[in-house]
Amino acid sequence: MGKFPLFPEQASTFAPEVDHLLFFLLAVAAFFTLLIFAAIFFFAVRYRRRSHGELPEVQHGAMTLEILWTAIPFGLTMVMFTWGASIYFREARPPDDALQIYVVGKQWMWKIQHMEGKREINELHIPLGRPVKLTMTSEDVIHNFFVPAFRTKQDAVPGKYSTTWFQPTKAGKYHLFCAAYCGTRHSAMTGWVYVMEPRDYANWMRGGESTGSLADDGAKLFQELACVNCHKADNHGRCPSLVGLFGSTVKLSTGGTVKADEAYIRESILQPNAKIVAGYPPAMPTFQGLVTEEGVLQLVEYIKSLGPSPAALGGAR
Amino acid sequence: MTEHIDSTKTYVLVFVALVSLTVLTTAVAFVNLGDFSVVAALAIAVCKMLLVALFFMHVRHSTQLTKLVLAGAMVWLGILILLTLTDFATRGLAGVPGR
Amino acid sequence: MASHTRTETLALREQFDTEAQQKDASTLGMWIFLITEIMFFGGLFLAYTVYRRWYADIFAVTSSSLNVYIGAANTLVLLSSSLTMVLAVRAAQLGKRKALVVFLILTLLLGGVFLGVKAYEWNQKYVEHHIPGPDFHFEGVAQQGPAQLFFSLYFAMTGLHALHMVIGAGLLIVLIALAAKGRFSASYMTPVDVVGLYWHFVDIVWIFLFPLLYLIDRHLGR
Amino acid sequence: MTPAVDVERETYLNAGHDLKSWLLTKDHKRIGLLYLFTITLFFFLGGAMATMIRLELMTPQGGLVSSETYNKLFTMHGVAMIFFFLIPSIPAVLGNFFLPMMIGARDLAFPRLNLISWYLLVIGGLFAIFAMLAGGVDTGWTFYTPYSTTYSNSWVIATALGIFVAGFSSILTGLNFIVTVHRMRAPGMTWFRLPLFVWAHYATALIQVLGTPVLAVTIVLLLCERLLHIGIFDPKLGGDPVLFQHMFWFYSHPAVYIMVLPAMGVISELVSTFSRKPIFGYKIVAFSSVAIAVLGFLVWGHHLFVSTQSVYAGMVFSFLSYCVAIPSAIKVFNWTATLYKGSISYATPMLYAFGFVGLFTIGGLTGLFVACLGIDVHVTDTYFVVAHFHYIMVGGAIMAYLGGLHYWWPKMTGRMYPEMWARLSAGIIFLGFNLTFFPQFILGYLGMPRRYHVYPPEFQVLNVMSTAGASVLAVGYLMPMIYFIWSLRYGKVAPDNPWGATGLEWKTASPPPLHNFDETPVVTHAAYDYSTVTGEGIDFG
């Protein structure tokens, strides 16, 4: 059997926060559980039925008591709500300087791609002390990227991107689970997250064959799929130029505007006619089925590498 | 229930109102009201529903309970649609994909 | 031992004390059943609302492919069937057996006309390859997926409505048979009243389906 | 040995002996027994699967069954226990039997509809059993898309149809109860003289009627998507898998209140009868039931906190989830306050009531953990959630169901159950239950995901403890099965009112005549007025 822990490791900035909230809730729960169990036990013994025809005096209820045990629980729950909501809100918004990593869930494995081009299956190597942002999607069913030691969990849903982030605080090797039931080998879709000292992380990153960064793979794919024929850099091809596209606001043919984030770029590759740029014909064919989710992520990375437009650089956030 | 029987004239009048509302809603659909075309269509449909319910289904003479039951259904339909829309309407507001 | 040795009649089942109590119970029972139907269709209205918000333009184009005049005419047919139904209920309340049978038959016929027109429209959709499935194709829209989604919702909602019409027609046939045999009187007409409520409900569902499916942004003109 | 019933009095049991008198009965009491038989079958079916699951989880590498079989086991355990045991259990057995008697009626408003409801449950059950025997379904009882519609090649359609049909049994039972309570109360039985059991079933009926149809239409869309690939939930064709989760949980969260509200009704009866005192704050407890039913419809989004639901929707649902917890807390405080200065008997039903109040408190409080956004991100889809809902459903609903079964057994069968054996099994169940599910809280927070048949070695000790508890629990559940059947033949003949209770159902004979009362009773007193009851209750000390 070996050692069996009763409490999970704290390996991210979220862990202590969530654990403090847990201790507060545990305290409240323990108090009320003991209160109820003690009251039942004491009343059951103190007022046990002594004689057969005994008829206790009738008390119908006291409104003051009712208000008391409505207001106090409500007050406590509001504290729990606001405290929990604040953590949730921060957990939902990754910092801007986070290390971007792409994760693709596929029936029964996690395929992870680093910016520098390194690819991993069911293993994630990240540097200590720096926030890491995962942009995730799934190629088939709903999966869920769950690292108990970081106290974070987020679905990877097919057809859209989802985001989770954490900042590791302790080097080590932590469990990675798939927490959304995804079929036959759901319980085998597990792996490890290695949090390494920055020095070791850099060596690890340099090691192994380096086939160039993700953006280079994206550039290669950009050529192979002949995107370059239309999307010329100098903006007088039949299609909009992609230089400086990421982060900018795009005016659409329907008059609306949309922020060119990862989701917009992915949608424009797989369903180009969903949002058509103002002033351009809906001429782009769909690449649904011609490029895998990893390929789309590589193209996104390549388009990002074409530099944010000057406006976005100076703009808010 | 049976003590109050409406006259045929009432029913025919209500029928005429329903027919005219149908013509109205079809006509309104051809006018560009932007977002309000949905509101107009639903408003007319709700009017027709109330006409059918109050007159044809005798809700007018019914007990308070029947009215409460009908109102309850509308509220629950509202809960189903509006609370789900709290999710669909605010997706992406946080500026983070999937949140 | 006196209270429950009396014989049970149609108008007064043995678990009730008075006929008024039984009638109120039956009416309340039908109203609560209609609530379950409202929530049943409500699920479809939710899916419609969500996907119309997502694909407003495509829904507008696909909705315009439906023939609005047939839809409007069909609505009038159903409204008139509601009129004849309520006149049937009125005739039952007054104990006029012949008028009751005539109005019930009229309601049945109008219901049949509605279903006939519906079948025609569906066949039209079949011919135009608009039925969701492998050979679905809709001209003039950028994405086939959402277009097929509209027609999936269209066939789900109108199909479910038509199914409820068929059930209503079956109930009407039973009522006509019983009415013809004189089973109903001014004091016992609950089944007519209850089927009337059901029929009017099915009409109200169509009152919402018609604008939501047929009249999306018709001003765009296609 | 035991004196036979002296005069051959006409009761609902000897009013007909052939199969037809049972299978075509319109008597709400016989239909209650039909349901009792049906759901007991499904309880032991689900229980057998639970045992297999716990045996599988004894070892980290889980060698007992393959992963496919394990997935089918926990799916069928969920489907059988929820749709075919817990949802019908108290409303269909005890509710059908006693609601009409408690309000002084001869039967429900629509007896034939009541029989149709039983047949619908049986037909739905046969679908589910067919699917299980033919190969089982492996989607989990939640049927999440796109796995259930596109990637699972197991008997999804047959099981979904079974649940669809069984859903209408629940809808029609709810409809029957609402009309009965509104239209068929005996003279003098005003709303605030109704027993709290009736209030709880009225609130449950509201949920059954307003929620179940949405599950029905969700299943219809699931079937259309699986058969025709129309894209309603398929992201490749423009659909949204999260919309399925919204529509599924719109019903499935109120469904957990369908399971626990009737249990609360039973507990209100038991606590009052065995303290020989009216419930503390009767009106507050009655309105709490309705409040739970109404608020229960506003909270389903707490199942979607990590499924790419928007942050703002998560906050709305978390807030509303805390609001629905308050009425449950009020009820627990009122039950406990009822014991104060009471004359408390330790008869078996009261032991189950003590067990319920204690374990439901833990279940409810851990509900606050999973409603809290910060913590739910960590604990959702882990064994913490499994432990939470088992504390409410097994520690709560099943304990109350067994308590109610023991409490009304004399009235239903005219025989007393063996008191000492019953107390022993109640104790075994309480211990076995806690040993099974409390370690799962710790496992959950450690991060063991649910629906895993293989897990890291460091979780093994807690899993072995849980499996040990499960075997004790299994023994605890087998004992009532045995001595209840034994009591039909050898149990002491029960008087009309063995507990000195105040309900109308105790004013008639045990077992009751075909039409419940010789004359329709007239109610003149409040619900729990023990001064009116002559003290002939057998003393259980």
The C residues from 143 to 182 touching A (CB cutoff 8 Å) are 143, 145
CA-CA-CA-CA torsion for C150, C154, C160, C163, nearest 10 degrees?
-150
Biggest CA pair distance of chain A: 100
What is the average pLDDT value for chain D, to the nearest integer?
A: 93
So what's the pLDDT on residue C5? 52
The C residues from 146 to 205 touching D (CB cutoff 8 Å) are 146, 148-149, 152-153, 156, 160
Neighbours, chain B (3 or more CB pairs < 8 A): A, C, D
Question: For chain C, where are the alpha helices, taking DSSP H only?
Answer: 19-54, 56-64, 68-94, 97-127, 144-180, 190-209
Report if residue D367 sits inside a domain: yes
Predicted confidence pLDDT, tens digits, chain C (222 residues): 334 455 678 878 888 888 888 999 999 999 999 999 999 999 999 999 999 999 998 999 999 999 999 999 999 999 999 999 999 999 999 999 999 999 999 999 999 999 999 999 999 999 988 888 888 888 888 788 899 999 999 999 999 999 999 999 999 999 999 999 988 988 889 999 999 999 999 999 999 999 999 998 887 765
Q: Quick one: average pLDDT of B9-35?
A: 93
Other Cβ atoms less than 10 A from the Cβ of A5: the count is: 12
The 3-state secondary structure of D386-450, one letter per residue: HHHHHHHHHHHHHHHHHHHHHHHHHHHHCECCCHHHHHHHHHHHHHHHHHHHHHHHHHHHHCCEC
Size (chain A), residues? 317
So what's the pLDDT on residue A209? 64
Determine contact: C131 vs chain D, CB below 8 A.
no
Which residues of B are less than 8 Å from A154 in CB distance? 98
Break chain B into its structural domains and give their ranges.
1-62, 63-99
Residue D204 has pLDDT above 60, yes or no: yes
Place of tokens 């649609």: B81
CB-CB: which of B19, B25, B55 is closest to C215? Answer: B25
The reply to whether residue A273 touches residue C143, judged by beta carbons under 8 angstroms, is yes
Residue D269 has pLDDT above 80, yes or no: yes
Report if residue D2 sits inside a domain: no
Instruction: Measure Cα distances from D80 to A180, D71, D76, D138 in Å.
Output: 22, 14, 6, 13
Domain membership of residue D251 as a residue range: 19-532
Which residues of C are less than 8 Å from D238 in CB distance? 51, 54-55, 143, 145-146, 148-149
So what's the pLDDT on residue D2? 46
Exposure letters C195-211 (e unless 16+ CB within 10 A, then b): bbbbbbbbbbbbbbbbb
Size (chain C), residues? 222
Report if residue D327 sits inside a domain: yes
| Identity of the amino acid at A129 | G
So what's the pLDDT on residue D485? 95
In angstroms, the CA D70 to CA D49 distance is 9
Which residues of D are less than 8 Å from C160 in CB distance? 220
Closest to D6 measured CA to CA, from D509, D463, D538: D509
Exposure letters C75-114 (e unless 16+ CB within 10 A, then b): bbbbbbbbbbbbbbbbbbbeeebeebbbbbbbbbebbebb
The A residues from 69 to 128 touching D (CB cutoff 8 Å) are 69-70, 73-74, 77-78, 80-81, 83-89, 91-92, 107
Weakest mean pLDDT among A300-309, D171-180, D194-203, D250-259: A300-309
The pLDDT confidence band at residue B2, using thresholds 50, 70 and 90, is: very low
The B residues from 24 to 43 touching C (CB cutoff 8 Å) are 25-26, 29-33, 37, 41-42
Angle at D54 between CA D52 and CA D60, to 5 degrees: 110
Neighbours, chain D (3 or more CB pairs < 8 A): A, B, C
CA-CA-CA-CA torsion for D260, D261, D265, D271, nearest 10 degrees?
50
D491-517 pLDDT, tens per residue? 999 999 999 998 899 988 889 988 888
Which residues make Cβ contacts (< 8 Å) with residue D165, sequence separation at least 6?
D120, D123, D124, D127
Which of the pair, C134 or B1, is modelled with greater confidence? C134
B34: left (phi over 0), alpha (psi -120 to 50) or beta: left
What is the average pLDDT value for chain C, to the nearest integer?
A: 91
And the tokens for A284?
């782009």
D512: exposed, middle or buried (C-beta count within 10 Å: 0-12, 13-18, 19+)? buried
Domains of chain C from N-terminus onward: 20-220 (1.20.120.80)
So what's the pLDDT on residue A311? 43
D11-70 pLDDT, tens per residue? 888 888 889 999 999 999 999 999 999 999 999 999 999 999 999 999 999 889 999 999
Interface mutation vs chain D, best among A31, A45, A80, A91, most D CBs within 10 Å:
A80
Which of the pair, D331 or D530, is modelled with greater confidence? D331
Report if residue D4 sits inside a domain: no
In angstroms, the CA C123 to CA C135 distance is 15
Residue D539 has pLDDT above 70, yes or no: no
Predicted confidence pLDDT, tens digits, chain A (317 residues): 457 889 999 999 999 999 999 999 999 999 999 999 999 999 999 999 888 778 888 877 789 999 999 999 999 999 999 999 999 999 999 999 999 999 999 999 999 999 888 889 999 999 998 999 999 999 999 999 999 999 999 999 999 999 999 999 999 999 999 999 999 999 999 999 999 999 999 988 887 666 678 888 888 888 888 888 788 776 666 788 888 888 888 898 888 888 888 888 888 888 888 888 888 888 888 888 788 888 888 888 888 888 764 444 433 33
CATH (domain of D367): 1.20.210.10
Place of tokens 């003991």: A34
In angstroms, the CA D411 to CA D408 distance is 5
Report if residue D136 sits inside a domain: yes
In angstroms, the CA C137 to CA C124 distance is 14
Report if residue D438 sits inside a domain: yes
Interface mutation vs chain B, best among D310, D316, D323, D377, most B CBs within 10 Å:
D310
Residue D3 has pLDDT above 50, yes or no: no
Interface mutation vs chain B, best among C23, C35, C86, most B CBs within 10 Å:
C86
Report if residue D181 sits inside a domain: yes
Q: Count the domains in chain D.
A: 1
Backbone angles phi, psi at D154, to 5 degrees: -125, -175
| Residue A111 bridge partners (DSSP) | A104, A121
Question: For D135-193, where are the alpha helices, taking DSSP H only?
Answer: 156-183
